[in-house]
Structure 1
Amino acid sequence: MSSKHHKIRVGISIGDFNGIGPEIILKSLKDKSITDFFTPIIFGSGKLFTYQKNIFKLQTNFNYINSAKEAQGGKINMVNLTKENSNVEFGVPTEESTKMAIDSLEKATQALLDNEIDVIVTAPINKDEMMKYGFAHAGHTGYFEEKAGKKAIMFMVTNNLKVAVSTHHIPVAEIAQNISKEKLKKQITQLSKTLKEDFCVEKPKIAVLGLNPHAGDGGVIGKEEIEIIEPAIKELFNNGTLAFGPYPADSFFQPEKYKAFDAVLAMYHDQGLAPFKTIAYEEGVNYSAGLPFIRTSPDHGVAYDIAGKNQADERSFSEAIFTAIHIFKNREEYHDLMSNRLRPKATHVNNGIDEDLPMENN
Structure 2
Amino acid sequence: MLPRLALVPGEPAGVGPELCVRLAQRPRSDCRLVAFADPLTLQAAAEALGLPLNLLHEDQPARAPGDLPLRMFPNANTVAFGRPDPRNARAVVDALLDAADGCLHGRFQGMVTGPVQKSAINEGGIPYTGTTELLAGHAGCEVVMMLANDVVRVALATTHLPLRAVPDAIDAGLLRRVLAITHRALRTDFGIADPVIAVLGLNPHAGEDGHLGREEIEVIGPVLEQLRGEGMRLAGPLPADTAFLPARLRGFDAVLAMYHDQGLPVLKYSGFERAVNLTLGLPYPRVAVDHGTALDLAGKGLADPSSLEAAVATCARMAAQRLQR
Q: TM-score, normalised by structure 1?
A: 0.83
Match for residue 255 of structure 2?
264
Q: Which residue of 1 aligns with 2:13?
A: 18
State the distance in 1 between where 2:153 and 2:204 align: 22
Preserved CA contact (<8 Å) 1:141 1:288: yes
Structure 1 runs of 4+ with >4 Å offset: none
Aligned residue among 182, 190, 197 for 1:191: 182
Aligned partner of residue 218 in structure 1, secondary structure: coil
| Counterpart secondary structure, 1:305 | coil
Q: Are the structure 2 counterparts of residues 177 and 132 from structure 1 closer, same or farther at C-alpha, using a change threshold of 3 Å?
A: farther
Partner of residue 282, structure 1: 273
1:53 pairs with 2:46: yes
Q: Deviations over 1:103-138 (max 9, x none)?
A: 322232233233332211111012233233344342
CA-CA distance at 1:17 after TM superposition: 1.6
- Residue among 28, 37, 40 paired with 1:44: 37
CA–CA separation in structure 1 for the residues paired with 2:24 and 2:192: 30
- Whichever residue aligns with residue 160 of structure 1, its letter is V
Q: Secondary structure at the match of 1:261?
A: coil
Map 1:71-220 → 2, pairs under 5 A: 71-74=59-62, 75-82=67-74, 86-88=78-80, 90-220=81-211
More deviation, 227-236/170-179: 170-179
The 2-side partners of 1:25 and 1:58 are apart by 11
Q: Structure 1 60/257 Cα, relative in aligned 2: closer, same or farther at 3 Å?
A: same
Residues in 2 aligned to 1:132 and 1:225: alpha-carbon distance in whole angstroms: 42
Q: Report the equivalent of 2:223.
A: 232
Partners of 2:293 and 2:76 in 1: CA distance:
23
- Conserved in 2, the CA contact under 8 Å of 1:138 and 1:169? no
How far apart, in 2, do the equivalents of 1:188 and 1:37 lie? 30
2:55 aligns with 62
Contact 1:125/1:301 (8 A) holds in 2: yes
Distance 1:245 1:38 in 2: 38
Gap change, CA 1:234 and 1:97, over 3 Å in 2: same
| Distance (Å, rounded) in 2 between the aligned partners of 1:265 and 1:171 | 18
How far residue 83 of structure 1 moved from its aligned partner, in angstroms, is 7.8
For the pair shown, which has the larger CA radius of gyration, 1 or 2? 1
Does the CA-based 8 Å contact 1:163-1:266 persist in structure 2?
Answer: yes
CA–CA distance in structure 1, aligned partners of residues 237 and 119 of structure 2: 34
Deviations 1:259-295 (A, max 9, x none): 2201000011121211111112111111111111111
Residue 117 to residue 239, structure 1, CA distance change in 2 (3 Å)? closer
Greater length-normalized contact order (CA 8 Å, ≥ 6 residues apart): 2
Give the aligned length.
321
Residue 85 of structure 1 deviates from its aligned partner by 6.5
CA contact (8 A) 1:166 1:265 kept: yes
Compare 20-29 and 110-119 and name the one that shifted more.
110-119
Of residues 304, 309, 313 in structure 2, which corresponds to 1:322? 313
CA contact 2:76–2:91 (8 Å) conserved in 1:
no
What is the Cα deviation at residue 329 of structure 1? 1.2
Do the aligned partners of 1:39 and 1:76 also contact (CA within 8 Å) in 2? no
2:106 maps to amino acid: N
Bigger CA drift: 98-107 or 180-189?
Answer: 98-107
Q: Distance in 2 between matches of 1:161 and 1:226?
A: 26
Offset of 1:84 from its aligned partner? 7.0
Partner amino acid, structure 2, of 1:125: V
RMSD, matched Cα: 1.9
Matched residue, 1:28: 23
Following superposition, the deviation at residue 154 of structure 1 comes to 0.5
Quickly say closer, same or farther: Cα 1:218–1:310, change in 2 above 3 A.
same
Map Cα deviations across residues 126-167 of structure 1 (whole Å, 9 max, x no partner): 223323334434211111111111111101123431110011
* Residues 64-123 of structure 1 deviation map (CA, whole Å, 9 limit, x = unaligned): x4xxxx5222352112222876231x3332213434322322232233233332211111
List runs of 5+ in structure 2 lacking aligned partners.
none
Query: For 2:318, what is the secondary structure of its paired residue?
Result: helix
- Alignment-mate amino acid for residue 23 of structure 1: E
Is 1:254 equivalent to 2:245 in the alignment?
A: yes
